[in-house]
Chain A
Amino acid sequence: MSQQNYDAIVIGGGHNGLVNACYLAKNGLKTLVLERRHLVGGAAITEELLPGYKFTTFSYALSLIRPDICEELNLPQHGMMTLPMPNDFHPGFNGDYLKFNGDAYEDYHEVARYSAEDAEALHDFRHLMNRVCYAMKPIMDSIPPNSRSDDPEELQRVADLHGYLEGLDDDIQELIHKLWRGSIAEVLDEYFESELLKGLMASSSIIGSMVGPRSPGSGLVWLFHKMGEYDGSFGSWGFHKGGNGGFTQVLAKALRSFGGEILLDAGVSEVLRQEGRTTGVRLTDGREFYAPTVVSALDPRNTFLKLVDPAELPADLVSHIEAYKFQGSASKVNFVLNDVPPYPGFEGNTEIFRGFTNVGPTLDYLQEAFEDAAAGRISRRPFIDACVQSTVDPDMTPPGKHIMSCFVMYTPYHLAESDWDTERETLGDIVQETLNEFFPGFHDIVEHREVVTPLDIERIVGISEGNIFHGELFADQMFMNRPAPGWNQYRTPIAGYYQCGSGTHPGGCVIGAPGKLAAQQILGDLVSAI
């Protein structure tokens, strides 16, 4: 057996594993990333599945990536480039639509077509939302306190946190409280009357989550997504040049610049332990690599129940991880098109597709889609977040062609009456049919289609039950509870063994914070050990 020594080994070359490794390597640790697949990126990859066509197989848009990480890892220097989304398009029924251009007053008049009060409320709401996100930002960007610790320092941090929240302006506190436990519909109903506008605004509340806009919990999913930013504007998104895989390639470059190494086709089967400490890892092919620090960038089920023997872990932790909810609910259908989708009155107009195209006109539509899933069925009329990145990034397709990424809700991992190998093309057909309903003639422009089911996400990326966030963004598995109370500070009961995947604070999305904060914890522990 070959054997090599490192200061730190990171299991899994998803973006969080890469960010984590960058910080470790930048701080002088000899760091190795072990990735099971033939490419890094995990859920954030771009693949040329057909010659000349770049597919964002899974993840497709960027917002949550922490700005401090981009700065500290010099990502612009390594080619990071996020293209803005100047438009959003929200088709409704009977020729209704909302089309945003990014000009505050044009957007006002657009909403005012449906309700002048809503148009004004939108400004107020956005301002409040910005203040809420700015208030929450330091919480997202720091290691949460440990709620189970008796350490006076930790107790003080919990107290400080309460103090901080209580010190916030009343309107900010109030909205945070509502969003933390409630549904997005309650909040939106308070501000707006237009069903079309509410439908559009609710979309961020259900992404990747087994909740409808009227379910408690959708508020938090919504808030989480709004914490992203584009050039200092909360809730704004962009396309990374070359897709989200372009971004993870930038991370790989950054890692190499810090002296870190990446080994591909290197699936880890076990984390090696000796007397309660980790000593390294064993690969599925039997190779072993040694390091005093091992970081799992996989989800909590893999980290605690598969890579190590759960019998060696505290029973309380194991039962939390066993109960931790994955229940993947999203899938992707990616199309090659020979034109942009035809919307009556906008045929051939590429401009309206330069951002999100949001198929999910009203709260009712979204809630119905959810109810299908709650009964174990694919939504008969799904919510679709469609993106045609080729309208702004010509490197995605050959000239004259387009690629449309469709993120689809809801597609429950656990189907009541069938299985995903059987239903793959059913899903493709439902999505295509729905698109054809909103964009009559859509069928005629489809040249190719790739369907990615929750089971595919699990099999290919290795995320349990295909949950895009490595576990639901529900309050009882967030913050001090992510992934389990007492184990929310990136450590594990095994000394030297850490976790940094999306199943740790603050959570999923292409965000990098778990990777960075885990590195902060690891580096701090190493210093204290000296």
Chain B
Amino acid sequence: MPKTTPFHPRLEALNRTKIWDNWAGYLTAPRYQYSDLSEYYAIRNSAGLLDTSPLFKYRFSGADATKFLMHAMARDIRKCRVGQAQYTTWCDDNGFVIEDGVIVRTTENDYLLTAAEPNLRYFRQINRKIGLADCQIDDVSADYGILALQGPHSLNILRGLTADAEKLRYFRSVQTEIGDKPVLLTRTGFTGDLGYELWIKAEDCLDVWDTLMAAGKDYNITPLGLHALKIARVEAGLLLLDVDFSSTRYAWVDAQRETPIELGWEWMFRGLHKDDRDFIGRVAIESEIANKTSRWKTVGLTVDWHHYQQLHREAGIMPPLDGVFHEGTMNIYRQSEIPWDYAGYATSLVYSSILRKHIAIAKLPLDLCEPGSQVSLEITIIRRSVNVLARVAEMPFFNPNRKTNLI
């Protein structure tokens, strides 16, 4: 029996399609209404509300918690002050990525982390090995529900409920109350838009859901299924575990593994030379940066609009736009004399309604990574492989000012 999140009684009533997916063992709705696009556009135009409670949640506390995270996490946790949040990754000794996640520093010695996979034993093992006296690591997954309230009107909704939302900056957090229930509010999200996430005690979840839905009624607040989120996250250039990369923990060979640099997270290591931490994977990461030994890079790709139209016209069919959503492997070739000259592959290909074109996340060799570089992406037209012109593009594909601005 799949488990249900604390919001389930509400979600069940709202899920018009009655179709559920399994996310980490929990029932989750791919969509609540038939139109994925309406849910998607709530994120870009009004506000969407998403239950992300199936994520694993960990608390790190005690006087040594910071020390522990300095070692376990690849990105420097000391840059995350109290009241801030940090997007981070943790790697193995060879500098291959285990996972990524957002960590919130709630007080000097207290952190909360979300992760896609179980990591309790993994983190505790590390702690046992380095033997820090005062660092507790707890699985608090069942103690909290998490909601993501995302979209340009998310602040308008929160503004009426708490005075703390207004001045909350990007990647900051604040302990506040929503309808007299304590809530940890962070200005974070997986949509690339203005948005917030709320950690809510399990027993308060339904009340807070109701409060938000009522406050959002006049702002077209829309329950979001995972599908809408997945379109938005590709536009935002945010990578998804098991789609755009796999964890080194369950890989067989290095070809399945990726380094943070290969995933495009080099920016996490900007001050590395001034950073004296002994963190897991440091030697390998440092050497990769210094010797430029990355095997590929993760880049954005946009499909050439005219060529896509032309290929379908030649085949005599309407080019599929809405509904193109492909999480898998699509081959990419060099535009060279040699036919089918393999270059790399795309992992997520979606039609972006707001950008009016197909976009993808891809892995390409370093010489093809300059924005504007032209490649051929293999797609299928009437069951035949066809190469369509695509260009390397900067990610995020969609990046509105409101995401980071003080409003």
Contacts and interface: CB of A to CB of B under 8 A. Distances in A.
Interface residues on A, range: 20 to 34
A84 B42 CA distance: 10
A106 B17 CA distance: 10
A393 B45 contact: yes
Given A130-B318, A232-B321, A394 B220 contact: yes
B34 interface: yes
Contacts of B274: none
A34 to B, nearest CB: 30
A86 B35 CA distance: 6
A75 B33 CA distance: 29
Contacts of A234: 318
A494 interface: no
A86 B219 CA distance: 17
B318 A232 contact: yes
Contacts of B309: 68
A84 B356 contact: no
Interface in B207-253: 218-220
A234 B322 CA distance: 12
B330 interface: no
A470 to B, nearest CB: 27
Contacts of B305: 67-68, 71
B114 interface: no
A394 B219 contact: yes
Contact of B356 (A76, A106, A392): A76
A86 B34 contact: yes
B353 to A, nearest CB: 5
B37 A84 contact: yes
A392 B321 contact: no
Nearest to A103: B34
A81 interface: yes
Contacts of B319: 232
Interface in B302-329: 305-306, 309, 317-322
Contacts of B220: 391-394
A230 to B, nearest CB: 8
B153 A394 contact: yes
A231 to B, nearest CB: 4
B354 A394 contact: no
Nearest to B40: A84
Nearest to B17: A103
Interface in A45-74: 67-68, 70-71
A400 interface: yes
Interface string A218-236: 0000000000001111100
A392 B218 CA distance: 10
B354 A81 contact: yes
A393 B45 CA distance: 7
Given A231-B322, A399-B219, A392 B35 contact: no
Given A67-B356, A392-B46, A400 B218 contact: yes
28 contacts: A67-B356, A68-B306, A68-B309, A70-B356, A71-B306, A75-B356, A81-B45, A82-B353, A84-B38, A84-B41, A84-B353, A86-B35, A102-B35, A106-B34, A134-B317, A134-B318, A230-B322, A231-B353, A232-B321, A233-B322, A354-B38, A392-B45, A392-B46, A394-B153, A394-B218, A394-B219, A399-B219, A400-B218
Given A391-B220, A394-B220, 7 more contacts: A81-B45, A84-B35, A86-B35, A130-B318, A354-B38, A393-B220, A399-B219
Interface of A: 67-68, 70-71, 75-76, 80-84, 86, 101-103, 106, 130, 134, 230-234, 241, 354, 391-394, 399-400
Interchain residue pairs A-B with the least CB separation, the first 7: A232-B321, A399-B218, A231-B322, A86-B35, A103-B34, A71-B305, A86-B38
